[in-house]
Copies of this chain bind each other. A is one copy, B any other.
Amino acid sequence: MSAILQNLSPSISSSTSTFLGHNNLKNNIKLPNVSIPRKISVVVKCVASPSTEKTAYKTEVSRNGNLAKLQAGYLFPEIARRRAAHMAKYPDAQVISLGIGDTTEPIPEVITSAMSKRSYALSTVEGYSGYGAEQGEKQLRAAIASTYYADLGIDADDIFVSDGAKSDISRLQVLFGSNVTMAVQDPSYPAYVDSSVILGQTGEFQKDVEKYGNIEYMRCTPENGFFPDLSTVHRTDIIFFCSPNNPTGSTASREQLTKLVQFAKEKGSIIVFDSAYAMYISDDSPRSIFEIPGAKEVSIEVSSFSKYAGFTGVRLGWTAIPKELLYSDGFPVAKDFNRIVCTCFNGASNIAQAGGLACVSAEGIKAMHEVVGFYKENTDIIVDTFNSLGFKVYGGKNAPYVWVYFPGRSSWDVFSEILEKTHVVTTPGSGFGPGGEGFIRVRAFGHRENVLEACRRFKQLYK
């Protein structure tokens, strides 16, 4: 290892966050060769003779310019970094995380016992299975179709089982390639934008407006009921749309989604509908984009067991692509996605799939509703807390996210204030796009006592 790299090595650690620092450094300094300033620091620190220093070997491979466009860190690792720094500063603090949208409650036993059984069976000749179909096990595809899309015309063979929605979003970006344009809700789940940047669909980040060039940001605010004014939205090839929304917790109504489908149809766009929170809907808002007539000709739906069954670590989701969805040349989108899945993926873990099958059994569905119900009670507690403190609060009703408004303040400032003064980790709204500025997202995933304690602290801070 060269001297330069030895000096660097503590920073390229298992912690994602430390990567970010370097990224920032490089972005700020804007030197063509990042090793130069570090070389100097080595000399200063080690008082080594410059003549004994070895210049690091560099390949002749150019860095992918799209990756260089990405800003700082992916939001959640950045929050993890700040949380870790806080814990280092206050080692005795009881830190409560209501930040990253991670589930906390145990997985119902009807589901884990199915996974446990499948694990054991892999040690037997009869129970062993190797490569499965890349698209997922037939029985699971059929069960997902009948559970979530009964009477909507989505069949088992329209379902592609995956290792989770985030992975599928990137596979969809690989499917579409670099020559498409895309729109996102602003604010929205950062993986849409970041994967678009990585695939080269965007221009550079424009610091003044905090947007990437060539992405259409569809502003979602309290004023428009968190549904974009489509009359001002420019046509794009792809429209990412998440409802119930992460981060705002708002849910589009049937009327709104009908407008969205009409808009896509008029413009010839494809909607990628993220329904990962659909089971949190309490009212009659659509749980699937395919409830909207004509949606099958313009939509893909991505979903996941993560927030229903606590599968954030188990990794299981799916993407539904109707046969009716065609490219401009008439070629079915599903056929190309099938090719992506066969070439770039080898199917979700068979053990996770056994869990998925248990999820959509009668008993599993009941158990998932209990998990969801528990988190929805948490949501109510959080909403009531901020309401009682006089804040304007959005979301929560149909989603595990509460979107709290701090007018005129910077999201990161509020995030830091809350962390510093209450030891509670939230998520700064601006991390989801410029439209999130002035908000923080409070997640409802948490043990009840932690949610109650966090709310007590919020009351203390903002009384």
Contact = CB atoms under 8 A, between A and B. Distances in A.
Interface of A: 1-2, 5, 8-9, 12-14, 16, 19, 22-23, 26, 32-36, 56-68, 70, 73-74, 76-77, 100, 102-109, 111-113, 115-117, 119-120, 122-125, 127-135, 138, 141, 153, 155-157, 163-164, 166-167, 169-170, 174-180, 191, 194-195, 198-200, 237-238, 264-265, 267-270, 294, 296-298, 310, 312-315, 323-332, 334-336, 338-340, 342-352, 355, 447
B351 A349 contact: yes
A204 to B, nearest CB: 16
A294 B343 CA distance: 32
Contact of A270 (B59, B127, B329, B343): B59
A129 to B, nearest CB: 5
Contact of A59 (B179, B326, B338, B346): B326
B61 A323 contact: no
Nearest to A181: B61
Nearest to A238: B61
Contact of A265 (B57, B130, B131, B132): B57
A167 to B, nearest CB: 6
Main secondary structure of the interface of A (DSSP, over half): loop
Nearest to A113: B120
Contacts of A324: 1-2, 5, 56-57
A341 B88 CA distance: 26
Given A63-B336, A339-B19, A178 B175 contact: no
Nearest to A34: B330
A226 B195 CA distance: 39
11 contacts: A12-B323, A14-B135, A16-B134, A56-B330, A60-B268, A62-B329, A67-B336, A107-B128, A112-B120, A112-B123, A170-B345
A179 B8 CA distance: 28
Contacts of A60: 237, 267-269, 328
Nearest to A9: B323
Nearest to A59: B268
B269 A313 contact: no
B130 A313 contact: yes
Nearest to A66: B177
A332 to B, nearest CB: 6
Per assembly, the copies of the chain total: 2
A344 B268 contact: no
B314 A141 contact: no
B128 A329 contact: no
B350 A314 contact: yes
A345 B61 contact: no
Contacts of A12: 157, 323, 332, 334-335
Nearest to A352: B349
A61 B269 contact: yes
A156 to B, nearest CB: 6
Contacts of A116: 116-117, 119-120
Given A12-B332, A122-B106, A339-B67, A315 B346 contact: yes
**Of residues A77, A131, A176, which shows the largest number of chain B Cβ atoms within 10 Å of its Cβ?**
A131
Contacts of A112: 119-120, 122-123
Contacts of A122: 106-107, 112, 115, 310, 313-314
A141 B14 contact: yes
Contacts of A164: 346
Given A106-B124, A163-B163, 12 more contacts: A56-B324, A57-B294, A60-B237, A63-B328, A77-B134, A106-B122, A122-B314, A164-B346, A170-B344, A195-B343, A314-B349, A349-B352
B342 A1 contact: no
Contact of A61 (B33, B56, B66, B270): B270
B345 A166 contact: yes
A32 B127 CA distance: 47
Contacts of A57: 265, 294, 297-298, 324, 326
A331 B128 contact: no
Contacts of A67: 175, 177, 336, 339-340
Contact of A63 (B157, B167, B199, B327): B327
A17 to B, nearest CB: 10
Contacts of A347: 313, 315
